[in-house]
Chains A and B, each alone.
Chain A
Amino acid sequence: MKRSVNYALYILPTLLLFLVVYAVPLVVLVGTSFCSWKTGGHLTFNGLGNYIQIIAHDDVFQAGLRNNVIWILLQATVNVAIGVIFALVLFRKPFYWKFARTVYMIPSIISSAAMGMLFVCVFNPEFGMVNNIVRLFNPTFNQNWFMSYDTAFATVTFTWLPYAGMVMLLILTEATSIDRSIIEAAIVDGADRLQLNLRIILPLLKNIIGTCVILESTSMLKKLDIIMLTTRGGPGSTTMNLPMFIYKTAMVENNFGLANTAGVLLTLLGCLTVLLINKIFSVGKEES
């Protein structure tokens, strides 16, 4: 009897944190996603009304969902690939490897709001670094990277796509723990760099690559800060994503019911992403 009281006391603080921050909001989220609820108005049950409205008729939501899925796909492939390739380069321990590791980690360590701010400055049409470099060759060049329809999406994507510090770090750590004798045996057998990387090292890294893919793609479900500081989802809804849509709908338009419907869909998108990636990576596991 005494024991279970102790257990309960030790779990209580954690349970309270969970209830206050996750459980209660989650219940409210799911419940009100079926309701019509605007500021000052009453909660009225609306059935699937919000879901139908948002999926079938809301252009902004659709754009947000589409962009979010594209960003997840890009992050799961291009971003992870960049991290893996850089880790493989550093794994051969070139003289600069420690320095390079630190340098590449910096963008991942500073707050992503600060990254957003750096890029706001770098891509500024008047005094920004990018436009001024182009102007060395073409003096009349003027491009408002974040604010014109044709470049906004690509520019926002650039603020996170090449930065795979975490992936590099995880792959490098895992690669270093590979048994040296396997690699030496391959070299004795005449494997060159390419073969060594493709046939020996990469297959051994499969699980950690799966972890990286999950990590990087789910990071796209929370990108609000950079978008908030750069484009706020615009111009139009070219750089809208679901977190920005939820923020706008809930905090600016005060349409809570609709925002919470989008919240449920964002959560589902996350679960689906994790499930799919797990499936892709464990199907391969059974084969080998």
Chain B
Amino acid sequence: MNHLEQTIDERPNRGYRALLALLSVLSVLFVLFIFVISLGPLLWVFISSFKSNTEILSSALTLPTKWSLKNYAMAFKLAPIANFYGNSVIVAVSTTILNVVALSMSSYVLARFAFRLRGFLKNLFGMALLIPAAAIMQPLYLNMKTLGFYDTLLGLVVCYAAFSLPVTMYIMMSYYLTIPKELEEAALIDGAGFNQTFWKIIFPLAKPAMATSGVLAFIGAWNEFQIAMILTSSTSKRTLPIALLYFKSQFASDYGAMFAATMVVVIPSIVVFILMQKQVVSGLVAGAVKG
């Protein structure tokens, strides 16, 4: 920092110095702007979620006179939020397991062994990145219905596991390439077969890559809205993001409960993110760069 300031002072050109000063003022404003847009809406909804409905309308910008949890009780009463929660947990966890296990196997074969269809399969799976889920909405719906997956949690799990397919494949493949081949050769000499080598030696070694891609698959499944909306119809099969749609369309007059429901959906994600920031951040970075 000090270095930089000194060099600025040495510059003879006053116009240029004014420009630099202006830029540093602008950057302070910019940072303030970022803080306001990131925290403002969230804090306001959080604070409002403790107000009564009359207070929400009469004094929108003040703190609640009495911090009450009534809205939260109401939100849980109006919509089966606990049920949505349970569904979201089941779907996200199953998606993560299915995606990571299936892809750890296929990526191993694709990364390690040369066979005729290898290039074709790699490109085929990579193609999934270029197909937006919104584009195949109707045929996917039809396909799921034909297979009997409509309005089941299993249907959602299958879809979400496939949505994370390309990114997990890239992360896993590049990780397998860093494992030295000697390990497998040694296992072979010791008489281990293909299955044994994979499950006893390679699979445990690939844990870091699985954690990275698992985090991504989990977040994707936890936040997904569109497919959940199309593929489920009964309340007992819906996930958390859909709870918001439910509130928006059916209980839009109970503002307090709507605020509370929004916070109930948002808070766990924020808490988990802050607690596991390191893993989430490295997962997001790896996923974006490799995908």
A: residues with CB less than 8 A from B are 2-4, 6-7, 10-11, 13-15, 17-18, 20-22, 24-26, 28-29, 32, 82, 85-86, 89, 92, 96, 100, 102-107, 109-114, 116-122, 124, 126-129, 132-133, 136, 162-163, 166, 169-170, 173, 187, 190-194, 196, 208, 211-212, 215, 218, 221-222, 224-225, 228-229, 242-243, 246-247, 250-251, 256, 259-260, 262-264, 266-267, 270-271, 274
Contact = CB atoms under 8 A, between A and B. Distances in A.
Contact of A247 (B98, B102, B137): B137
B165 A14 contact: yes
A66 B157 CA distance: 34
A169 B135 contact: no
A246 B140 CA distance: 13
B219 interface: yes
B142 interface: yes
Interface in B82-120: 98, 101-103, 105-106, 108-110, 113, 115
A202 to B, nearest CB: 15
Contacts of A18: 124-125, 128, 162, 165
B37 A162 contact: yes
A17 B102 contact: yes
A276 to B, nearest CB: 13
Interface string B213-240: 0000001001111100110000000001
A4 to B, nearest CB: 7
A271 B35 contact: no
A202 B161 CA distance: 36
A121 B47 CA distance: 12
Interface string B4-17: 10011011000000
18 contacts: A10-B106, A11-B121, A25-B136, A29-B136, A85-B27, A86-B30, A106-B38, A106-B273, A110-B223, A111-B223, A111-B241, A114-B265, A121-B255, A121-B258, A127-B57, A133-B61, A251-B138, A270-B131
Given A14-B103, A117-B262, A190-B10, A260 B158 contact: no
Q: Which 5 A-B pairs have the closest CB atoms?
A: A243-B134, A21-B162, A111-B223, A25-B139, A14-B106
A6 B194 contact: yes
Contacts of B20: 192-194
Interface in B225-279: 225-226, 229-230, 240-242, 244-245, 247-248, 255, 258-259, 262, 265-266, 269-270, 273-274, 277
Given A17-B162, A107-B37, A270-B132, 8 more contacts: A10-B105, A26-B139, A102-B273, A116-B244, A169-B285, A222-B226, A229-B245, A251-B137
B139 A29 contact: yes
Given A21-B162, A106-B42, A228-B245, A26 B194 contact: no
A163 B162 contact: no
B1 interface: yes
Contacts of A191: 7
Contacts of A24: 139, 143
B132 A89 contact: no
Contact of B244 (A86, A106, A117): A117
A100 B28 CA distance: 13
B135 A224 contact: no
B187 interface: no
B273 to A, nearest CB: 5
Given A18-B128, A106-B270, A112-B225, A170 B285 contact: yes
B162 A20 contact: yes
Contact of A13 (B34, B106, B169): B106
A166 B223 contact: no
Given A85-B30, A194-B20, A243-B226, A187 B7 contact: yes
B281 to A, nearest CB: 6
A114 B288 contact: no
A147 to B, nearest CB: 13
Contacts of A2: 194
A208 B285 CA distance: 11
Contact of A266 (B40, B44, B135): B135
Contacts of A132: 60-61
Nearest to B17: A192
Contacts of A92: 1
A10 B139 contact: no
B45 A121 contact: yes
B229 A122 contact: no
Contacts of B274: 102
Given A21-B140, A211-B289, A121 B262 contact: yes
A122 B135 CA distance: 31
A28 B142 contact: yes
Contact of A127 (B125, B139, B255): B255
